[in-house]
């Protein structure tokens, strides 16, 4: 066996060099366990159906780091990316990326276990403390890290609620909230998207059904529409019914609100939200990881009973280090200021020029700006023509959004220059005229 120090050498840390030195294992012979005919027939039909409906997904391969300008495989010219959740441009930020290599030098690649068995790393505790402080929860609150926000959502409801309780969920909540709610035995109520009167009604119904704890669950930002949930009004109703409020802030953490603390800060209600779940995989560096921040007691329950936490490996130390660096950048006014200024001036510029050009846009006050087109085929045709002009945007259609509400969802970033945003608008205007959209 090669000695550890050999692998630690900077030269051999390069994978290609390692392979040269030690050889690669011969590729295993291709084998295939036979699929029963009934399953093969069903999935073939399902896939054909998706292809006919235009909902079959293919993945474009990109060969550069995630940034405002990227290269797609087999194409020589770079394109401008307007479809990533890289709101602050931290996915490829020098400080964040350098931090990863620094942590790789001082920590292992991973823990090879869950935290309660093999010991919890100090850097994980540090990031949790940093998160709690970020939310002003360092005294009464705590933070628990997950491998993803999807996992945080999968664990939270089942851990905290029983069949004596109720979950009152916004009709447009993210798939991971829907799945998390499915795993929990609480009675389910649903209110129309962002509709506070309906929420009030559903909370009354939950009380009449004898539910003891009533948890209201909403996305902080609805990502298909670029709409910020009306949290101030929601808090009023939640308090009127003595319920608790859960917010999934994946599309707000790091950039929404005056200091980037998310939708709660945007509405000035951070201290009225009981639990926040969010992701490290969007604005905060774009790698992976999620967390719950909230009341100490509740987080303590999660550490002891939440299944994705107890039965899945914790975050890689390098990812934790990068997240710390990303939050440092957001927490520091000197670095945060220019990032937020650029992001919001890009979003304002795009919205103003696109509206003036006659496009119908959804949402408001967010860096997600959907260009509404209606027809699914028109949306995908338009996205194709935009790509030909060097602008990478994606069409969304049913079942991701309602039928006849197909759209191109544009996402602005602090990584975009003013010139790049203007270039995207110019391309939209050209293509829009060509397709008779404007
Ligand atoms: C993206 C997203 C998630 C999933 O986050 P991951 O960390 O990638 O698992 C969860 N909730 C919402 C609202 C999201 O937008």
pLDDT in tens, 70-110: 998 988 899 999 999 999 999 999 999 998 888 887 888 88
Q: Which residue of the set 93, 187, 214, 251 is catalytic?
A: 251
Q: Are residues 84 and 122 in the same domain?
A: no
Active-site residue, 282 included:
yes
Q: Give the CATH number for residue 149.
A: 3.40.640.10
Tally of domains in the chain = 2
Region of 262 on the Ramachandran plot (φ > 0 left; ψ -120 to 50 alpha; else beta): left
**Within a domain: residue 7?**
no
Judge whether 143 and 131 are in contact, CB under 8 Å. Answer: yes
User: Tokens at residue 263, please?
Assistant: 């939708």
Domain carrying residue 397: 52-90+335-434
Active-site residue, 413 included:
no
Q: What is the pLDDT of residue 399?
A: 87
Q: Quick one: the chain helix, strand, coil %, rounded to 5?
A: 45, 15, 40
Mutate to test the pocket of ligand 1, among 144, 250, 290 (most ligand atoms within 8 A of CB): 250
Q: What is the pLDDT of residue 5?
A: 45
Q: Are residues 358 and 400 in the same domain?
A: yes
Q: Is the CB of 70 under 6 A from ligand 1?
A: no
Strands, DSSP E only, in 265-360?
275-279, 290-295
**Does the CA dihedral 224-194-243-220 come out positive or negative?**
positive
**Within a domain: residue 17?**
no
Contacts of 230 (CB under 8 A, 6+ apart): 194, 196, 267
| Bridge partners for 396 per DSSP | 407
Distance 151 CA to ligand 1 centre (A): 9
Cβ burial, residue 125 (10 Å; 0-12/13-18/19+): middle
Q: Are residues 124 and 205 in the same domain?
A: yes
3-class secondary structure for 191-202?
Answer: ECCCCHHHHHHH
Look at residues 295, 198, 201, 309 and name the one whose alpha carbon lies nearest to residue 246.
295
Residue 21 has pLDDT above 80, yes or no: no
Q: Is the CB of 261 under 6 A from ligand 1?
A: no
pLDDT in tens, 107-157: 888 888 999 998 899 999 999 999 999 999 999 999 999 999 999 999 999
H/E stretch holding 392 reads strand 391-392
User: Tokens at residue 336, please?
Assistant: 């945060």
Using pLDDT thresholds of 50, 70 and 90, give the confidence band for residue 7.
very low
- Look at ligand 1, atom 12, and give the residue with the nearest C-alpha: 250
Q: Is the CB of 346 under 6 A from ligand 1?
A: no
Q: Are residues 354 and 272 in the same domain?
A: no
Active-site residue, 140 included:
no
Q: Give the CATH number for residue 83.
A: 3.90.1150.10
Instruction: Find the mean pLDDT for residues 178-189.
Output: 98
Residues 18, 203: Cα–Cα separation, whole Å: 60
**Within a domain: residue 360?**
yes
Q: Is the CB of 279 under 6 A from ligand 1?
A: yes
Residues 218, 230: Cα–Cα separation, whole Å: 10
Q: Is the pTM of this model over 0.75?
A: yes
Q: Are residues 348 and 220 in the same domain?
A: no
Residue 29 gets which letter from DSSP?
A: P
End position of a domain, from candidates 315, 349, 364: 315
Q: Which residue has the higher pLDDT, 18 or 156?
A: 156
Q: Are residues 145 and 179 in the same domain?
A: yes
Strands, DSSP E only, in 33-165?
69-70, 79-81, 141-146
End position of a domain, from candidates 315, 350, 385: 315
Residue 11 has pLDDT above 60, yes or no: no
């Amino acid at each position: 066996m090669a000695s550890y120090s050999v692998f630690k050498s900077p030269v051999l840390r390069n994978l290609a060099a390692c392979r040269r030195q030690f050889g690669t294992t011969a590729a295993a012979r291709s084998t295939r366990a036979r699929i029963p005919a009934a399953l093969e027939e069903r999935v073939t039909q399902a896939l054909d159906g998706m292809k006919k409906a235009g909902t079959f997904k293919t993945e474009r391969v990109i060969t550069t780091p995630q940034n405002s300008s990227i290269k797609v495989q087999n194409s020589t010219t770079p394109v401008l990316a307007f479809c990533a959740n890289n709101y602050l441009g931290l996915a490829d930020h020098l400080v964040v990326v350098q931090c990863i290599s620094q942590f790789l030098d001082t920590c292992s690649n991973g823990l090879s276990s869950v935290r309660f068995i093999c010991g919890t790393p100090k850097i994980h505790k540090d990031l949790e403390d940093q998160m709690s402080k970020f939310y002003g929860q360092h005294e009464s609150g705590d933070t628990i890290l997950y491998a993803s926000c999807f996992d945080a959502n999968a664990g939270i409801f089942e851990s905290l609620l029983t069949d004596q309780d109720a979950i009152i969920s916004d009709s447009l909540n993210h798939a991971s909230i829907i799945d998390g709610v499915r795993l929990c035995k609480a009675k389910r109520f649903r209110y129309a998207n962002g509709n506070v009167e309906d929420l009030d009604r559903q909370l009354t119904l939950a009380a009449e059904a004898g539910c003891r704890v009533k948890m209201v669950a909403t996305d902080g930002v609805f990502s298909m529409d670029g709409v910020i949930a009306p949290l101030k009004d929601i808090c009023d109703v939640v308090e009127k019914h003595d319920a608790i409020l859960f917010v999934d802030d994946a599309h707000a953490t790091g950039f929404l609100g005056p200091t980037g603390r998310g939708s709660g800060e945007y509405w000035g209600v951070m201290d009225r939200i009981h639990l926040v779940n969010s992701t490290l995989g969007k604005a905060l560096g774009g790698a992976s990881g999620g967390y719950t921040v909230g009341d100490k007691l509740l987080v303590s329950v999660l550490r002891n009973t939440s299944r994705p936490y107890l039965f899945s490996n914790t975050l890689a130390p390098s990812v934790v280090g990068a997240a710390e660096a990303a939050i440092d950048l957001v927490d520091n006014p000197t670095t945060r200021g220019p990032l937020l200024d650029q992001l919001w001036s890009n979003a304002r510029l795009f919205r103003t020029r696109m509206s003036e050009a006659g496009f119908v846009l959804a949402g408001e006050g967010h860096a997600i700006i959907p260009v509404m087109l209606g027809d699914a085929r028109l949306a995908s045709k338009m996205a194709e023509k935009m790509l030909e002009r060097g602008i990478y945007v994606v069409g969304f259609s049913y079942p991701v959004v309602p039928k006849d509400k197909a759209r191109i969802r544009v996402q602005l970033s602090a990584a975009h220059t003013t010139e790049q945003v203007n270039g995207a608008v110019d391309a939209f205007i050209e293509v829009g005229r060509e397709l008779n959209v404007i």
